[in-house]
Every structure is written in C-alpha cells, then in structure tokens.
C-alpha cells in the first residue's frame, strides 16, 4: 500500500490492491460511510475489499472503512477510463489531415 496524491485534485490517497490485483485509490482518512475495508495479509500486504451496494451496510459495527477516491474526488471524471483517454492522442486528427 502506497501513500500517494491524487493526480487530478491533489488529495492524499492510498493506493491499495484488491484481490484481483487492481490498484485502487482510497481516501487517506477513514470514513464512516465508506465501502472499502482493508486487511493486512499474512504476507504483510494490505488487501482492499470494495463492498458494493448493500453489502457495505452489512459490515459489522465498528469495522474501519474507507471511501474509494473514485467516489469522493471532485475531478472524478478524470479517473474514469483513463486508458481510453490516453488512446485519444490530441494530435492524431492533425496528423491525418496532413496526409492530403
């Protein structure tokens, strides 16, 4: 788990890994209404679990939880589909018009 900063809003965030190996940004401070729990594994790694929908409400009382920074970032749109955005190279259209 790495302490980092959001590239779009500058907020301090953790990068934690889910069971599928995906790195997700999480707000640094725990939040009572969060739906992400973190658990230290025997290996020492922190495993983040996102509890989607109703399952967050079913966590035992007192469970420490965090909020995904995807949900709380004021620039959340920047986090959606970053790969696709990179594919839209800004000069791609210009190169094509130069062919003629």
Least distance (Å) between residue 8 CB and Zn ion: 5
Q: Of 15 and 59, which CB lies nearer to Zn ion in the complex structure?
A: 15
Q: Of 6 and 36, which CB lies nearer to Zn ion in the complex structure?
A: 6
**Residues engaged in binding Zn ion (CB under 5 A):** 6, 8-9, 73
Least distance (Å) between residue 65 CB and Zn ion: 19
List of E strands, 1-100: 2-5, 12-18, 23-27, 36-40, 46-50
Q: Of 55 and 74, which CB lies nearer to Zn ion in the complex structure?
A: 74
- Nearest of 55, 57, 7 to residue 69 by alpha carbon: 7
């Amino acid at each position: 788990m790495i302490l980092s900063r959001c590239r779009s809003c500058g907020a301090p965030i953790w990068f934690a890994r889910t069971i599928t190996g995906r790195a997700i940004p999480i707000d640094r401070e725990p939040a009572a209404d969060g739906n992400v729990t973190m658990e230290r594994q025997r290996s020492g790694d922190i495993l983040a679990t996102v509890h989607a929908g109703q399952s967050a409400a079913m966590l035992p009382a007192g469970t420490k939880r965090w909020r995904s920074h995807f949900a709380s970032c004021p620039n959340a749109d920047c986090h959606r589909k970053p790969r696709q955005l990179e594919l839209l190279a800004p000069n791609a259209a210009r190169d094509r018009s130069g062919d003629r």
